[in-house]
Chain A
Amino acid sequence: MQRLAVSENGFVFDPVTGNSFTVNSTGLRLLRLLQQNKDLVEIAATVQSEYDADPREAERDILEFVALLRKHNG
């Protein structure tokens, strides 16, 4: 996660795989939190407070997002 180059407008480049992709504003926020080495509980708490999200739904979405990142940037 640390190796990803993330721009302010959500363009992400992985210098190891050479792949690039875009994320929306929520994805960008999640990426920033992940790059700060926040754990799932901390990220979920942040998402709940910032997006007024249901806690269980937030956790599920975060895990799904991380799985997607791993799939495309092995």
Chain B
Amino acid sequence: MKTGHRRVRTVAVTGLNAKPDNPGPGVAVARCLREALGRDVRIVGLGYDAMDPGLYLPRYFDAAFLTPYPSNTEEALISRLADIHAKEKLRALIPCLDAELPSLIRLGPRLTTMGIRTFLPSLDQLRLRDKDRLPELAKIAGVSCPSIRPVNHAGFFHACHKEGWRYPMVVKGIFYDAQVVFGADEGASAFRRIAAEWGLPVLVQRFVEGEEHNLVAIGDGDGAMLGAVTMKKRAVTAKGKAWAGICTHDRALLDAASALVSVLRWRGPLEVEMIRDRRGNYHLVEINPRFPAWIYLTHGVGRNLPAALLHLMMGKPAPSFSEPLAGTMFVRYAEETIVPLSTYESVVIDGNRQNA
């Protein structure tokens, strides 16, 4: 991909959590930016917890700061961002967690006034791809989608057959988490666990037998899908997250995702999750409004999407992309970062880590 960046810009990236069973995308997004732009970009990591691994990775993040959790007030968030902006002169912000988006979209005009650019969908667009509204969206786009319904009581799992729901089915949190359940007791147990973590309603989705295929791309806001890369998971963690994956190429998947992006007129990064059944038909299961944790594969296949996003954020036309090489694989590993006590202390006490 040719972007033509050469001036140092400071970009903030969130989602620095990176526990191996379910890593956030922030570290991988920063890695993509670093690989594409070297030291022509200054990357500022925004984390939530002193144990977020991205806070301690100076090779990707030139500085790192703690910020208030998304459950805090928007005033607390904008106030903290203003503090960080005063130190870092941020030019752009790339949020990497679903729960951050509503606040940051609402704060968009204030961020713009401060000189911090974002490239995000509207709140309406965000709502259209909520899990409970996916079938409606998919129907308009002409894409298959297993039906979904909200559940507010564990008793549903013992009486669901009366409404035509059969096992297995998928139990999902409104923001995160999904578990395939094979019976009423397992369903009720998953419901309680997910409700305790993510609140009500919990969603149930009809189970489609097949293999999961994921697509990442950027919506330009006018209906076009840019730089799509597709991936099939080849090894997963206990939470079903990719530990290894391989770049695929299927026109049918690209067409389906393109139709969804067009209907949504999506602006910003997105990940489309689909199940490919034995007949080769795709069924939409989720649309995530951000880059996924496996985004580094896009750099590996010559379509560095975080760098492309930054390009768009700076008001430049869509970059040109080379054809991604199907068969290119990624395999993750975990490594330890050694952190001096003084650095840890700085994060805990001051809420930041600056490079020496």
Chain B 272-306 residues near chain A, CB threshold 8 A: 276, 278-280
Query: When the two chains form their complex, are residues B248 and A16 in contact, meaning their CB atoms are under 8 A apart?
Result: yes
Interface string of B317-341 (1 = CB under 8 A from A): 0000000001100000000000000
A19 CA to B329 CA, complexed, in Å: 11
Q: Which residues from chain B sit less than 8 Å from chain A, CB to CB? A: 211, 213, 231-232, 234, 245-250, 276, 278-280, 326-327
| Complex Cα–Cα for A17 and B279 (A) | 11
Q: Which of A1-35 contact B (CB under 8 A)?
A: 5, 13, 15-20
Q: How many residues of A contact B (CB 8 A)?
A: 9
Cα-based distance from A18 to B244 in the complex (angstroms):
12
- Of chain A, the residue at the smallest CB distance from B234 is A18
Q: Is the CB of B232 within 8 A of A17?
A: yes
In the complex the two chains form, is A15's CB within 8 Å of B327's CB? yes
Pairwise interchain contact B250-A74, C-beta atoms closer than 8 A: no
A15 to B213, CA, bound (A): 12
| A13 proximity list for chain B (CB < 8 A) | 326-327
- A33 CB to nearest chain B CB (Å): 23
The closest CB in chain A to the CB of B231 belongs to: A18
Q: What does DSSP make chain B's interface, helix, strand, loop or mixed?
A: strand
Given A15-B248, A17-B248, verify A74-B280 contact (CB < 8 Å).
yes
User: In the complex, A20 Cα to B235 Cα: how many Å?
Assistant: 13
Q: How far is the CB of A69 from chain B (nearest CB, A)?
A: 14
CA distance A44 to B250 in the complex (A): 31
Decide: A74 and B327 in contact? CB cutoff 8 A.
no
Q: Which residues of B contact A15 (CB under 8 A)?
A: 248-250, 326-327
Residues 55-74 (chain A) with a chain B CB within 8 angstroms: 74
Q: Are B249 and A16 in contact (CB under 8 A)?
A: yes
Complex Cα spacing A15 to B234, Å: 13
A3 to chain B minimum Cβ distance, whole angstroms, is: 9
Q: How far is the CB of B282 from chain A (nearest CB, A)?
A: 11
Which residue of A5, A16, A74 contacts B278 across the interface (Cβ within 8 Å)? A74
Contacts of B248 in A (CB 8 A): 15-18
| Residues in B whose Cβ lies below 8 Å from that of A20 | 246
Q: Is the CB of A18 within 8 A of B246?
A: yes
| List of B residues within 8 angstroms of A18 by Cβ | 211, 213, 231-232, 234, 245-248
A61 CB to closest chain B CB (Å) equals: 24
Q: How far is the CA of A8 from the CA of B127 in the complex (A)?
A: 50
Tell me, rounded to whole Å, the shortest Cβ–Cβ distance linking A9 to chain B: 15
Task: Chain A residues near B245: list those with CB within 8 A.
Answer: 18
Q: List 23 A-B contacts (CB under 8 A).
A: A5-B326, A5-B327, A13-B326, A13-B327, A15-B250, A15-B327, A16-B249, A16-B250, A16-B280, A17-B211, A17-B232, A17-B248, A17-B276, A18-B213, A18-B232, A18-B234, A18-B245, A18-B246, A18-B247, A19-B232, A74-B278, A74-B279, A74-B280
Residue of A nearest to B246 (CB): A18
| Chain B hits for A17, CB < 8 A | 211, 232, 248, 276
